[in-house]
């Protein structure tokens, strides 16, 4: 809101909370889902396993087995709890693994067709669990009473649930090195898709390397040499040859002067 000052605007006197406006059809869809599954009077825990799978975003995901263990413990302590698995196409596989591993009637996959249908159902949940992702912010906007965030490498103060209380579950694998996995290492930026199957990670290059901008002559020479080891080796040999030739000519000149 402070950006309004740049266009001579006046920021609001109070902090504004995000708000999502639902239409009757979206609220009705959520009510129908609760009624169909007899969830009106049960405590409802919403869970979203996703974070995206492109590039390093896969590192944000909590292992599916951990979610399975968590849900088992929750259902053992409260058999009346309903666990709702939210997500889109990218979460479908993981949600199915959880669903099949538990085989419990208390676990339900949410068949929402849009984000706003999902938001309407989130508004009717008591607890929401996820890593930092879009649904974390959606749950905050819908003011889910209790929100649990599992720490990921990207979690930091700037992306906390906005103006909402939450409990952060510390991740020992992060150990305070938030964002370290995402720092630019100076290498070429390329688009790729990573697939994780068990302990094996395979990557499929989705686009070629491209460069933008200009460099000063000296830096461009350094960059060109760093990109081509053979050219760098040839340049070193050439410089060594030139240096040896210069030394040879210098010694010859000195020898001639002495003979005179």
Q: Tell me: the pLDDT tens digits for 168-193?
A: 999 887 777 776 655 545 555 455 55
Q: Is residue 93 part of a domain?
A: yes
Domain of residue 7, residue span: 2-183+190-205
Q: Residue 211 falls within a domain, yes or no?
A: no
Q: Is residue 16 part of a domain?
A: yes
Tell me, yes or no, whether 251 and 123 share the same domain: no
Q: Taking each helix axis from N to C terminus, what angle separates 134-141 and 115-122, rounded to the nearest 10 degrees?
A: 50
Its pTM stands at: 0.66
CA distance 44 to 35: 13
Can you name the residues that pair with 195 across neighbouring β-strands? 202
Residues of the chain above pLDDT 90, percent: 48
Q: Contacts for 118-122 with beta carbons within 8 Å, 24 or more apart?
A: 118/86, 119/20, 119/22, 119/26, 120/22, 120/26, 120/27, 120/29, 120/30, 121/29, 121/30, 121/33, 121/34, 121/46, 121/84, 121/86, 122/46, 122/86
Domains identified in the chain, total number: 2
Of 33-47, 52-66, 68-82, 207-221, where does mean pLDDT reach its minimum? 207-221
Strand bridging mode 107-109 / 44-48: unpaired
How far is CA 1 from each of CA 10, 16, 156, 191, rounded to the nearest angstrom?
9, 9, 21, 33
Which residues fall within 8 angstroms of residue 54, CB to CB, at 6 or more apart? 192, 193, 194
User: Assign residue 39 a region: left if phi > 0, alpha if psi is -120 to 50, beta otherwise?
Assistant: alpha
Average pLDDT score over residue span 111-138: 95
Do 26 and 137 lie in one domain? The reply is yes
Question: Average pLDDT for residues 21-25, to the nearest whole number?
Answer: 92
Determine what percent of the chain is predicted with pLDDT higher than 70: 82
CATH of the domain at 20: 3.40.50.2000
- 54 and 26 in a single domain? The answer is yes
Window from 26-35, 63-72, 235-244 with minimum mean pLDDT:
235-244
Nearest residue to 58 via CA among 31, 34, 90: 90
pLDDT digits (tens, 9 = 90+) for 213-249: 566 788 778 778 777 888 888 888 998 999 999 988 8
Residue with more model confidence, 255 or 55: 255
Contact 113, 136 (CB under 8 A): no
pLDDT at 195: 56
Cβ-based neighbours of 169, under 8 Å, separated by 6 or more: 148, 149, 150, 151
The count of other CB atoms within 10 Å of the CB of residue 81 is 18
The C-alpha torsion from 153 through 134 and 46 to 27, rounded to 10°, is 170
């Amino acid at each position: 809101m402070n950006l309004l000052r740049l266009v001579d605007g006046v920021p609001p006197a109070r902090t504004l909370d995000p708000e999502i406006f639902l239409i009757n059809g979206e609220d009705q869809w959520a009510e129908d889902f609760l009624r169909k599954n007899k969830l009106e009077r049960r405590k409802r825990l919403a869970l979203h396993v996703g974070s995206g799978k492109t590039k390093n975003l896969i590192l944000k995901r909590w292992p599916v087995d951990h979610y399975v263990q968590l849900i088992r413990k929750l259902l053992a302590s409260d058999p009346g709890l309903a666990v709702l698995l939210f997500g889109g196409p990218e979460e479908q596989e993981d949600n199915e693994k959880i669903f099949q591993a538990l085989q419990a009637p208390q676990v339900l996959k949410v068949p929402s067709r849009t984000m706003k249908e999902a938001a309407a159902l989130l508004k009717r949940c008591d607890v929401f669990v996820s890593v930092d992702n879009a649904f974390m912010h959606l749950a905050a906007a819908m003011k889910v009473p209790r929100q649990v965030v599992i720490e990921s490498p990207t979690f930091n103060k700037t992306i906390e649930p906005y103006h909402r209380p939450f409990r952060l579950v510390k991740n020992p694998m992060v150990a305070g090195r938030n964002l370290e996995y995402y720092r630019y290492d100076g290498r070429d930026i390329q688009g790729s898709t990573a697939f994780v199957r068990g302990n094996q990670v395979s990557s499929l290059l989705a686009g070629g390397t491209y460069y933008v901008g200009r460099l000063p002559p000296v830096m461009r020479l350094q960059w060109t040499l760093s990109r081509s080891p053979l050219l760098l080796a040839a340049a070193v040999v050439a410089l060594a040859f030139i240096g040896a030739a210069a030394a040879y000519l210098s010694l010859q000149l000195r020898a001639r002067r002495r003979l005179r």
